[in-house]
Amino acid sequence: MHAFRDALRCTFFPRYASEQAMEKLGKVEQGKLSIDCYIEKYRSFVDRNPMVDLELLDNWFRAGLSSGERQSVAGWATGREMRGEKVEFGGMIEYLRRRDRKNATSIALAEKEKGPGDDLDLERLDIGAEDSRPPKSGLGAVTDRRQ
């Protein structure tokens, strides 16, 4: 069975293509991508090269995370290991997605509770702003608007 699979792979998937895919997979980084975008990008590379060891995938995925996300995953994994639970790649991805949704909900609620007067940038713009309405006819139109 293995000989057939290896022969098939060599015939239809050149070795250099597999090596290139593994090289790209090892270089995927989160950068400014959201967690969901990073996960999808990583999975697309994994789908192109499914013969990679799961532990290696896990290590490359963690290495590509931003430093804050990497620390969060390390804390999550340590907690699971201390409880005697197995740390799996799928569980790590689910943890990151759940945490990302929780953070997005917290931010949305905070913005909803925040009133329009709470925005310091808007207040700074309003302070000392000149009245841009056209002057009324009559005596108000003749007075000097400079202060």
Q: Quick check: 100 pLDDT over 60?
A: yes
Mean pLDDT computed over 66-74 = 88
Please write the tens of the pLDDT for every residue from 38-66. 888 888 877 777 667 777 778 888 888 88
Query: Is the residue at 6 inside a domain?
Result: yes
Sign of CA pseudo-dihedral 52, 53, 58, 60: negative
Confidence of residue 16 (pLDDT cuts 50, 70, 90): low
Query: Is the residue at 29 inside a domain?
Result: yes
Query: Is the residue at 23 inside a domain?
Result: yes
pLDDT: which is higher, 135 or 106: 106
Looking at the structure of the chain, the number of domains it has is: 1
Helices (H), the chain: 2-12, 15-27, 35-48, 54-64, 67-82, 89-113, 120-126, 139-142
pTM score of the predicted model:
0.50
Query: Is the residue at 142 inside a domain?
Result: no
Mean pLDDT computed over 25-44 = 80
Domain that includes residue 78, residue range: 2-111
Mean pLDDT computed over 92-103 = 84
On the 0-12 / 13-18 / 19+ scale of CB atoms within 10 A, 25 is buried
Query: Is the residue at 146 inside a domain?
Result: no
Find tokens 């057939």 and name the residue: 4
